[in-house]
Structure 1
Amino acid sequence: RQIASCLGAIAGALSAMGHYEVAARLFGASEAHHERIAFPFVTETFAFQRALGLPEPWASMHPECEVADALRRTLLERTAALRAVTLNAELASAWWAEGRVLTLDEAVALALAAEPISPPIKAAGGLSARELEVLRLLAEGASNRAIADSLSLSERTVERHVTHILTKLDCETRTAAAIWSVRHGLA
């Protein structure tokens, strides 16, 4: 029972960091292993995981637990950009189902292999050091003029950097790039 519960806790932490695929598989494994040992996978199992930022569709699968409401509100206020990201419900369900068929050993191996912090090269999205500086300021809500002043660049140079950032990250807007930077631990 302890291992199955720990899988759920690890899944909650990974979900809060935006690692939804591994999180969904571990939640599925946790749920299935709770069922196998005849220990109910009750709503309370998700209370604190949801408080840490568990996204839809999982949050909607189980009614809110009052015990975690205050913590959830506080954390969601601090990570408002993350809430703008919506997870595909069908994909989440598929990942969850994949987790349900994992053996306990496979689920533990998946949890141990999880990388909670993306490696810098992976997280950088192919951005140069200067583009990362611009992205961090952009994510803070700075205008091109403010970014230019902060980095001693021309506004035109900042505009080019922003264009390159949007292209490299495959984002259509500054807001989408800001969300990407938060999800990847850059802002």
Structure 2
Amino acid sequence: MQSLDRYKETPSQTAGPYVHIGLTPNFCDIGGVYETDLGAAMVNDKTKGERITVKSRVIDGSGTALRDALVEIWQADADGLYNSPSEMRGSADPNFTGWGRCPADMDTGEFVFETIKPGRVPFRDGRPQAPHISFWIVARGINLGLHTRMYFGDEEKANAEDPILQRIEHKVRVPTLIAKREGNVYTFDIHLQGEKETVFFDI
């Protein structure tokens, strides 16, 4: 019988200069891999729901937006269903991917996702969660991808009932998860350190 400690875990490394080459080759002017970078488009002209734009930056402890970060998001569709084989509550919108990937703009550090406002999904105990989008962040200097959520500033009642937001002990930090709305644009800056440090989740 083979011993369980024969193979050791590979040490984690920061997301270096190759993360964009591997995940967003067209962004790096490398053609012929994918017609378009995976995750670049989440919606089409048949997607159900309210169209929104999410703009975000990843900001370091000095207040500087990282220009070499990469963000992935995933969310439910307008009816609160995930585009996933594990979704057992019904069929998600086939015209909505539910997942997006975007590299930071190399000048401004901004991410832009064209998506739809998600519906509410149940927590493990059945209570409805507020509409939210999950974020995964990688960048140079981050050993393991960071996980957080974006909630919607115009969903005050749903946010007050959300079982995840209710579990955050220091309520002064809840606003770090709330995006501000202007027109159909939600702005959500992710702070890695400092006074406005975003709440991250151990997933």
* TM-score, normalised relative to structure 1: 0.25
More helix by share: 1
Which has the larger Rg? 1
More strand by share: 2
